[in-house]
Chains A and B, each alone.
Chain A
Amino acid sequence: MTVLHATPFRVGAASWLVPVRASLVSLVGAGLLFLLVAIDLSVGDFPIPVGDVVRTLFGGGDEAQRFIVMELRLPQTMVAVAVGAALGLAGALTQTMARNPLASPDILGITEGAAFGAVAVIVLSGGSGYGGGLVSGRLQELGLPLAAFTGAITTAVLLYVLSWRRGLDMQRLVLIGIGLGATLTAGTSYLLVNARIQDAASAQVWLSGSLNARGWEHVGPVLLTLAVMVPLALLLIRSLNAMLLGDDAAQGLGVRLQLTQLGVLIAAVGLASVSVAAVGPLEFVAFVVPQVALRLTGGSRPPMLASMVYGGILVVGADLITRAVLPFALPAGIVTAAIGAPYLIWLLVRTNRRRTV
Chain B
Amino acid sequence: MNARHRLGAEEITVGYGGDPVIRDLTLDIPDGMVTAIVGPNGCGKSTLLRTLARLLKPSDGRVRLDGEAIDAVSTREVSRRLALLPQSPIAPDGLLVRDLVGRGRHPHQTWFRQWSPADEQIVEQALRMTDTWDLRDRALDQLSGGQRQRAWIAMTLAQDTDLVLLDEPTTFLDLAHQVEVLDLVTRLNRERGRTVAMVLHDLNLAARYSDLVVVMKSGVVVTIGTPREVFTSALLEDVFGLRADILDDPRTGLPVVVPVSAPAQAAASGGTVAGSPSAAAASCGT
A: which residues have CB within 8 A of B?
1, 3-4, 6, 8, 10, 13-17, 99, 166, 234-235, 238, 241-242, 244-246, 248-249, 251-256, 298-301
Contact = CB atoms under 8 A, between A and B. Distances in A.
B1 interface: no
Nearest to A246: B90
B75 A238 contact: no
A10 B87 CA distance: 36
24 contacts: A3-B99, A3-B115, A4-B99, A14-B112, A15-B112, A15-B114, A15-B115, A17-B114, A238-B106, A242-B103, A246-B89, A248-B50, A248-B86, A249-B85, A251-B55, A251-B79, A253-B106, A254-B77, A254-B80, A254-B106, A255-B106, A300-B91, A300-B93, A300-B99
Contact of B75 (A4, A15, A254): A254
Nearest to B156: A252
Contacts, number: 112
A248 B83 CA distance: 11
Contacts of B98: 3-4
B79 A254 contact: yes
Given A4-B96, A244-B95, A238 B102 contact: no
Contacts of B115: 3, 6, 8, 10, 15-17
B107 interface: yes
Contacts of A3: 98-99, 102-103, 115
Contacts of B54: 251
Contacts of A238: 106, 109, 111, 114
5 smallest CB-CB distances across A and B, nearest first, come from A254-B79, A252-B84, A248-B86, A300-B92, A254-B107
Residue among B82, B106, B113 with the highest chain A CB neighbour number at 10 A: B106
A241 B91 CA distance: 11
A253 B79 CA distance: 5
Contacts of A6: 115
B106 A242 contact: yes
B94 A15 contact: no
Contacts of A15: 112-116
B16 interface: yes
A271 B96 CA distance: 32
Nearest to A301: B92
A252 B79 contact: yes
Contacts of B95: 1, 4, 244, 300
A13 B113 contact: yes
Interface size class of B (residues with CB under 8 A): 35 or more
Contacts of A299: 94
A15 B105 CA distance: 13
B114 A244 contact: no
B213 interface: no
Nearest to A13: B113
Nearest to B120: A8
Nearest to A6: B115
Interface string B6-26: 000000000011000000000
Given A8-B120, A300-B94, A256 B103 contact: no
B182 interface: no
Contacts of B170: none
B55 A248 contact: yes
A343 to B, nearest CB: 18
Contacts of B264: none
B190 to A, nearest CB: 23
Contacts of A301: 92
B104 interface: yes
Given A8-B115, A238-B106, A249 B84 contact: yes
Contacts of A253: 79, 103-104, 106-107, 159
A286 B262 CA distance: 60
A144 B116 CA distance: 48
A255 B91 CA distance: 16
Contacts of B96: 4
B78 interface: yes
B76 interface: yes
A253 B114 CA distance: 14
Given A3-B99, A3-B102, A8-B120, A256 B91 contact: no
Contacts of A166: 16-17
Nearest to B123: A3
Contact of B76 (A16, A254, A300): A254
A10 B113 CA distance: 9
B149 to A, nearest CB: 13
B53 interface: yes
A245 B87 CA distance: 12
Contacts of B114: 8, 15-17, 238
A16 B92 CA distance: 22
Nearest to B104: A253
Contacts of B102: 3
Contacts of B86: 246, 248-249, 252
B53 A99 contact: no
